[in-house]
Amino acid sequence: MKICVFCSANEQIDSEFFTLTEELGKWAAENGHSIVYGGVNQGLMECVAKASKQAGGRLIGVVPMIVEKSGRISDYVDVEIPCDNLSDRKQLMMDQSDVFIALPGGIGTLDEVFTVAASATIGYHQKLVILYNMKGFWDSLIALLDDLQAKGMIRGDWRQYIKTADSIEEISRLL
């Protein structure tokens, strides 16, 4: 299976996020899954890549030209898929992946999660998005989605498109 990982490229974040991300990368490789990700050599992106690679995993980096020009491509990338911009990147990631796991991240991660989920809601694919809720990181987003649901702003149940998991064991059960 190709698992797309959306996550932060920031370094100055909770150290436990790095520990849990390492565990995910190792678990993915040990279970024969490839990682599709942004290919950046920083933050949780580099962390998941390194852990997966060290456990024998395969890394597919979808890398915008601007990242390549700045020299921020991870050395762990096995297959580089270049792209022009972030819109291209999201489409290529959707095309390459079977499932999506969102680790802690910011605006870019939210953009990726909602692009994939919105595409599923109108029938472009039936691929699952999982919010890996490390240390309750996604609790406020989950509350917002519940609030939007209660206000009738989401057709159906958002949990049809976005699942939540608090551990790798829960992720494994969802796959």
pLDDT on residue 127: 96
Taking each helix axis as running N to C, give the angle between helix 43-54 and helix 15-30, from 0 to 180 degrees, rounded to the nearest 10: 40
pLDDT on residue 147: 97
Walk along the chain (175 residues) in steps of 10 and give the mean pLDDT of each run: 96 96 98 96 96 97 86 90 93 96 97 96 94 98 97 92 97 96
Are the C-beta atoms of residues 39 and 74 closer than 8 Å to each other?
yes
Q: How many CB atoms lie within 10 A of CB 1?
A: 11
Are the C-beta atoms of residues 127 and 97 closer than 8 Å to each other?
yes
C-alpha gyration radius of the chain: 15
pTM: 0.95
| Longest Cα separation, the chain | 46
pLDDT on residue 166: 98
Q: Is the dihedral of CA 162, 134, 58, 56 positive or negative?
A: negative
Beta-bridge partners for 162: 129
pLDDT in tens, 43-91: 999 999 999 999 999 999 999 988 877 778 899 999 999 999 999 999 9
Distance set, CA 104 to CA 6, 11, 111, 156 (Å): 8, 12, 13, 26
Tokens 């919105």, located at residue: 118
d(CA 61, CA 49): 9
Are the C-beta atoms of residues 100 and 6 closer than 8 Å to each other?
yes
Residue among 34, 41, 31 nearest 5 (CA): 34
